[in-house]
């Protein structure tokens, strides 16, 4: 049996008729950039996130970059980000001209360790950017209290958590801005790059609409120094169709996570692996199912031999990469991040994964650790 890491062609084929008709519709009236499909999607996605406004942009990286700029964060400012996340969280800060200041993660949740935030706050700190990593919503009570105490903004990186809730509220709707990616592999993925910012703040929304469109609201008037970062009509048409299925798909992801968790429980009890807390199906939307073990590389090789794909999210702490040399961080600065980077492995995860496939993966993990 083959188990792919994710099955995008399968999802396309299951709704092919609807997707093809929608794409033909965009082509027929040729509203390729912004336009009515984008407007409709912005309305739909704001509603889904329980936020007032949604502004479609070109990518999740730009969603972060433009959200910081819309909040007036730039040169000379600092933004607190987790040491363990996809590189784009820190890139968004850098693109706005500000400095990412890193904080280690909590070893149980993989989220920024809120207790370690206070130690790095300076006069330059303007915002905290928590990441709802792997689809698991952060504890926003603690983060909001910390931001409140120090008068900092919260910009959420919700690129992996479309639909996840904390205390009943959607991820992305807690901070001044919530940033999403619609990269094809995300829980809500387009047929190319795309992103969005959601916010309840009318001024921030207005500024974002301006920034994404050459710094212009009225053609040929440029009050802001903007850029070209817009969502395409084709992407919006696809996203409108997929958004209707998102909650169902997130539920299916959670059910697959539950099957992994049940199937591997005895190994966790024997101390051979560490499983993620599966929480409830709306708190954790399982963008990724990430477990930890000592011989991670051995397991990945054994799975590959059985035609099971797996991944590491992420193998190299980004602050040790060349791009971030100027920040001056060294190996050993974030021990939790560096320790888990050696042990984490992501098992195949997509809404359509079958019981036979998750059972087979569990069987092979047992076989390897026997």
Q: Which residues bind ligand PLP (CB under 6 A)?
A: 59-61, 85-86, 88-89, 131, 157, 159-160, 181, 183, 193, 195
Question: For 214, phi and psi rounded to 5 degrees?
Answer: 60, 25
Nearest approach, Cβ of residue 87 and ligand PLP (Å): 8
Name which of 171 and 181 has its Cβ closer to ligand PLP: 181
Contact by Cβ (8 Å): 60, 181: yes
Nearest approach, Cβ of residue 292 and ligand PLP (Å): 19
Nearest approach, Cβ of residue 223 and ligand PLP (Å): 26
In sign, the C-alpha dihedral spanning 180, 186, 192, 193 is positive
The residues that bridge with 347 in the sheet, in sequence order, are 289
Nearest approach, Cβ of residue 7 and ligand PLP (Å): 19
CA angle (113 as vertex; 55, 93 as ends), nearest 5: 40
Q: How many of the other CB atoms lie within 10 Å of CB of 40?
A: 14
CA 303 → CA 243, 267, 368, distances in Å?
A: 33, 16, 9
Nearest approach, Cβ of residue 195 and ligand PLP (Å): 5
If you ran DSSP here, which 8-state letter would residue 308 be given?
B
If you ran DSSP here, which 8-state letter would residue 293 be given?
-
Which residue number has the CB closest to ligand PLP?
60
Name which of 56 and 351 has its Cβ closer to ligand PLP: 56
Name which of 67 and 361 has its Cβ closer to ligand PLP: 67
Name which of 158 and 273 has its Cβ closer to ligand PLP: 158
Name which of 53 and 86 has its Cβ closer to ligand PLP: 86
If you ran DSSP here, which 8-state letter would residue 284 be given?
B
Bridge-based pairing of strands 177-181 and 169-170 is unpaired
Name which of 59 and 125 has its Cβ closer to ligand PLP: 59
Nearest approach, Cβ of residue 31 and ligand PLP (Å): 22
Structure tokens given for 115 = 């207790």
Name which of 88 and 231 has its Cβ closer to ligand PLP: 88
Nearest approach, Cβ of residue 151 and ligand PLP (Å): 25
Nearest approach, Cβ of residue 266 and ligand PLP (Å): 31
> Cα separation of 69 and 63, whole Å?
10
What would the DSSP string read from start to end of 76-122? T-EEEEESSS-THHHHHHHHTT-EEEEEPBPTTT-SB-GGGTGGG--
Minimal CA–CA distance to 98: which of 117, 70, 130, 57? Answer: 70
Minimal CA–CA distance to 137: which of 241, 49, 6? Answer: 49
Structure tokens given for 349 = 């995860």
Name which of 181 and 357 has its Cβ closer to ligand PLP: 181
């Amino acid at each position: 049996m083959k188990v792919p890491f994710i099955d995008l062609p399968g999802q396309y084929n299951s709704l092919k008729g609807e997707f093809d008709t929608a794409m033909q519709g965009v082509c027929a009236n040729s509203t390729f950039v912004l336009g009515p499909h984008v407007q409709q999607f912005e309305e739909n996605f704001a509603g889904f996130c329980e936020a007032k406004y949604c502004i479609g942009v070109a990518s999740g990286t730009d969603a972060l970059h433009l959200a910081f700029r819309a909040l007036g964060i730039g040169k000379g400012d600092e933004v607190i980000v987790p040491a363990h996340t996809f590189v784009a969280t820190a890139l968004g800060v850098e693109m706005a001209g500000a400095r990412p200041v890193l904080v280690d993660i909590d070893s149980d949740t993989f989220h920024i360790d809120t207790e370690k935030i206070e130690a790095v706050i300076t006069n330059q700190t303007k915002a905290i950017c928590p990441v709802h990593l792997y689809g698991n919503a952060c504890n926003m009570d603690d983060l909001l209290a910390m931001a409140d105490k120090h008068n900092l903004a919260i910009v959420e990186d919700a690129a992996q958590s479309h639909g996840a809730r904390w205390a009943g509220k959607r991820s992305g709707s807690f901070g001044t801005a919530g940033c999403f990616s619609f990269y094809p592999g995300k829980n809500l993925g387009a047929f190319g790059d795309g992103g969005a910012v959601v916010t309840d703040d009318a001024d921030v929304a207005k500024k974002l609409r301006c920034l994404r469109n050459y710094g212009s609201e009225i053609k040929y008037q440029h009050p802001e120094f903007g850029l070209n970062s817009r969502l395409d009509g084709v992407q919006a048409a696809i996203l409108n169709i997929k958004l209707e299925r998102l909650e169902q798909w997130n539920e299916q992801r959670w059910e697959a996570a539950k099957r992994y968790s049940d199937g591997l429980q005895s190994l966790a009890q024997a101390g051979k692996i560490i499983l993620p807390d599966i929480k409830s199906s709306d708190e954790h939307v399982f963008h990724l199912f990430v477990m930890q073990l000592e011989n991670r590389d051995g397991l990945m090789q054994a799975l590959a031999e059985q035609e099971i794909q797996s991944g590491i999210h992420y193998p190299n702490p980004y602050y040790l990469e060349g791009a971030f040399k100027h920040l001056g961080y060294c190996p050993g600065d974030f021990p939790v991040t560096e320790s888990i980077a050696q042990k984490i492995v992501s098992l195949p995860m997509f809404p359509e994964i079958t019981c036979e496939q998750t059972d087979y993966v569990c069987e092979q993990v047992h076989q390897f650790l026997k």
